[in-house]
Structure 1
Amino acid sequence: MVITIRDNYSVQFIEKQLAALVKCAWDDSPLSAHDIIGRTVVSLVSSGSERGAYMDYFGGTAYPVETGYAAAMEVQEIGAAVTNVNVGDIVFAMVPHRAYNRVKDDEIIHIPAGMLPEHAVIGRFPAVSMTSMIHTRIRPTEVVLVTGLGVVGLMCAQVMQHCGYKVYAFDPNLSRREVAQSCGLRHVYGSLDDVPEVKGVAGLAMECSGRENAVYSLMANLRKCGELYLIGVPWFRSTDTFAQELLLNIFYGYIHVYSGWEWSSPGNSTDFDPNSNHNSMVRAMEWIRDGLIKVEGIYEVVSPSECAGVYESIACGTLQKTCVLFDWRL
């Protein structure tokens, strides 16, 4: 069956701090052999990465710009050589917030049978920190510190706890701490000052807030030769503290500091490097399906037409839930 798409819509930042659902162009050229066309069911809002473009923190963003990088899609049409999916299948793809998307057959991930699309698409978030976990030399059952319990930090803490680390998670926001506890995290606090017994004990720190104060605090609490991964993007300056204190802790603590950029792992596995973002997302979806990572109740579902209010609430810090999904069926 060949479908005709006359109207396609996407969520775009049409200017700084203004989002809208707008009509967008569609490539109606014939499908190549490995093309897939999908109708979006739900797409996931990243309150970190997308906020950067929305706020234009670094300057130079050319508006309008499409946004988003994760969606569950229902397959509508496939190319002649596509053998890994059938029309009607629900698959995951790293595509923008757009009603219809066109991808290659090696760019999709099968969603486990019986899994809600709303849950499967959240499997994108654990993969952000799993790159750091794969790279670290610190092994279970050491103590791990996680700062920032937005959705990336919440997923990070759950993954580390599931994999056998003793996780201490921190966020000054009470509601975020309550959500973390409801997801089964055992040690959740407002500040590292609340648990002096971990000072000098933790081997690994996962910084997911993007705030300098969190980095300073983690540095002062790691053991000798501990490791710190910077997972949260430091979009803007949030402190006047000088770097000397930070450098002193690194120097005398023999601390190893790494970028937590997820794409330091390959997108797909190879014979000599089986670890990849693709595999991390597959495994995360399985853990969510099996109840090993909790996602129930952490997200809000809204229509894409409500995108302006969603991004405004993210920028203002008034978002009620940990994350937001756009439901394209609404």
Structure 2
Amino acid sequence: MKKERLNVKNKKVVFSEAWKVEVLQDNHFNPKLSANEVLLKKRYTLISPGTELACLSGNESWFSMPTVPGYSAVSEIIETGIDVKDFNVGDVVFHYGTHSEYEVAKVDGVFLKVPDGIDLTWVPFVRMATVAMTSIRVSNIELGDMVMVTGLGLIGNMASQLAALQGASVIGIDLSQQRLEIARECGVEHVLAGNADVKEKVRGITTDRGVSTLIEATGVPSVSLDHVSSVGKYGEVILLGSPRGACEANVTDLLNRIHLNDLGCISFKGAHEWRYPLMPDVFVKHSLVRNSRIVFKLMQQKKIKIEPLISHILLPDEAPSAYEGLRNKKDEYSGVLYKWQ
């Protein structure tokens, strides 16, 4: 006879209104599981700075408030539905989880057991790496290419590391000296401050040929326009960061760089995470599940560096200060994890 679960207290981070973060507690959390669902207790969740701050601003139409945000989690299964066969109580799993102590989740999609030998604080970064991996998947990056990445936050840093694994020499650009130092620690070959002479420095590194691929990871629309002149002939611009905010510009020069052979014949490509399907399919090579498994393998082999990206491990009660830091102290706050146990 199945033992009845007692009510649990479920602490959660809530965006209650624009720029207002609260930590609330549901004292009567006692969900009923469907046949293919599990009840999870979180170990760690990771803040996605770009997405979550955009949601917290109130400017994302798809995100309504009050809502529990969340992006990526590592959790322990504490109860399973009657049809769950491949997972057991006690398994530790990676999934796209919210910032709450407990959560009910289906066991399909990106819901994977954590392989042996991986630090649990690294696991939520799998999603950041798979987001970044989309830029590599859609690109033409080959062994020996020069690649420039604008924006060295979590996503841009990961894209830089993955482009290097693809065989490229990478130039990472950011305004933050701290992010530049983290990129160096993660093995990015060239790191440049995004100041007035950065284009000259890129020309010097590439011996006037320009880069073959520009991965734009900031999401600031003007950055693509500012740096497209550093892309060499028949090169490409990969839009990895989701563009946000207004930008007024005369786009004729940009269109000519795309259109005219003597100005480069440059291609622009979108690299949103959901470009690829969730599950593996015999007719599609890439999927989010496959990408996640590849990232786990890279972590096991120590081919990507995660530790330098972790700036803070905080308790959920510290959530308001976490978002304040990510918003206003970008040199100090980057990879912020909530520790739930």
TM-score, structure 1 as length reference:
0.92
Counterpart for residue 196 of structure 1: 203
Secondary structure, counterpart of 1:118 in structure 2: coil
Deviation sequence 1:154-186 (CA, Å, 0-9, x none): 011001111212211111211110010011111
Distance change (3 Å), C-alpha of 1:119 and 1:256: same
Name the CA shift for 1:26/1:165 in 2 (closer, same or farther; >3 Å). farther
CA distance in 2, matches of 1:59, 1:69: 17
Contact kept, 8 Å, 2:164 with 2:170, in 1: the verdict is yes
Q: Which segment is superposed worse, 243-252 or 289-298? A: 243-252
How far, CA to CA, are the matches of 2:219 and 2:104 in structure 1? Answer: 33
Aligned-pair Cα RMSD in Å: 2.0
Equivalence for 2:162: 159
| Separation in 2, partners of 1:75, 1:250 | 50
In structure 1, how many angstroms separate the alpha carbons of the residues matched to 2:7 and 2:144? 53
Deviates more, 1:165-174 or 1:239-248: 239-248
Q: Is the 8 A contact 1:57 1:235 kept in 2?
A: no
Q: Aligned pair in 2 of structure 1 residues 58, 37: CA closer, same or farther (>3 Å)?
A: closer
Q: CA deviation at 1:258?
A: 1.5
Query: Which amino acid in 2 is paired with 1:36?
Result: V
* Corresponding letter in the other structure for 1:123: V
CA contact (8 A) 1:57 1:236 kept: no
| 1:249 equivalent among 248, 257, 260 | 257
Query: Among the aligned pairs, what percent are the same residue?
Result: 26
SS at match of 1:297: helix
Q: Answer with 149-158 or 112-121: which moved more.
A: 112-121
CA displacement at 1:23 relative to structure 2: 2.4
Q: 1 CA distance for matches of 2:231 and 2:61? A: 35
The residue aligned with 2:276 is 265
Matched letter for residue 255 of structure 2: L
Verify the 8 A CA contact 2:185 2:308 in the aligned structure 1: no
CA-to-aligned-CA distance 1:274-306 (integer Å, 9 cap, x gap): 311111122112212322111113211001111
Q: Which residue of 1 aligns with 2:103?
A: 101
Cα 1:247–1:5, aligned 2, differ >3 Å: closer, same or farther? farther
Task: Between the two structures, name the one with larger relative contact order (CA 8 Å, sep ≥ 6).
Answer: 1
Which residue does 2:309 correspond to in 1? 298
Residues of 1 paired with 2:331 and 2:211: CA distance? 31
User: How far is the alpha carbon of 1:313 from its aligned partner?
Assistant: 1.6
The correspondence of residues 201-240 of structure 1 with structure 2, limited to 5 A, is: 201-237=210-246, 240=248
Q: Distance in 2 between matches of 1:44 and 1:263?
A: 19
* AA at the equivalent of 1:324: V
Q: 1:186-214 CA deviation, whole Å, 9 max, x = no partner?
A: 11111442221324332211100112342
Range that drifts further, 310-319 or 84-93: 310-319
Structure 1, unaligned stretches of length 5 or more? none
- Of 152, 168, 189, which aligns to 1:149? 152
Q: Distance in 2 between matches of 1:302 and 1:120?
A: 16
Letter in 1 for 2:136: M
1:54, 1:106 → 2: CA distance? 29
Are 2:13 and 1:6 equivalent residues in the alignment? no
Alignment of 1:80-91 (within 5 A): 80-91=82-93
Moved more, 104-113 or 197-206: 197-206
Whether the aligned pair in 2 keeps the contact of 1:38 and 1:101 (CA below 8 Å) is yes
Q: Is the 8 A contact 2:136 2:162 kept in 1?
A: no
Residue equivalent to 1:309: 321
1:61 and 1:126 mapped to 2: Cα distance? 23
Structure 1 residues 25 and 159: alpha-carbon distance in aligned structure 2, compared to 1, 3 A threshold: farther
Looking at structure 2, the residues matched to 8 and 94 of structure 1 have their Cα atoms a distance apart, in angstroms, of 18
Gap change, CA 1:209 and 1:327, over 3 Å in 2: same
Q: Which residue type is aligned with residue 129 of structure 1?
A: A
CA apart distance, 1:319: 5.4
Say whether the 8 Å CA contact 2:179–2:331 is kept in structure 1.
no
Please give the alpha-carbon distance, in whole angstroms, between the structure 2 residues aligned to 1:26 and 1:97: 18
Q: Is the 8 A contact 1:310 1:319 kept in 2?
A: no
Q: What letter is aligned with 2:250?
A: F
Structure 2: gaps of 5 or more residues: none
Greater shift after overlay, 20-29 or 303-312? 20-29
TM-score normalised to structure 2 length: 0.90
Aligned residues: 328
Q: SS of the counterpart of 2:123?
A: helix
Query: Secondary structure of the residue that 1:268 maps to in structure 2?
Result: coil
Contact kept, 8 Å, 1:143 with 1:203, in 2: the verdict is yes
Q: Distance in 1 between matches of 2:331 and 2:22?
A: 18
**Matched residue, 2:135:** 132
How far off is 1:267 after superposition?
0.9
The 3-state SS of whatever aligns with 2:121 is: helix
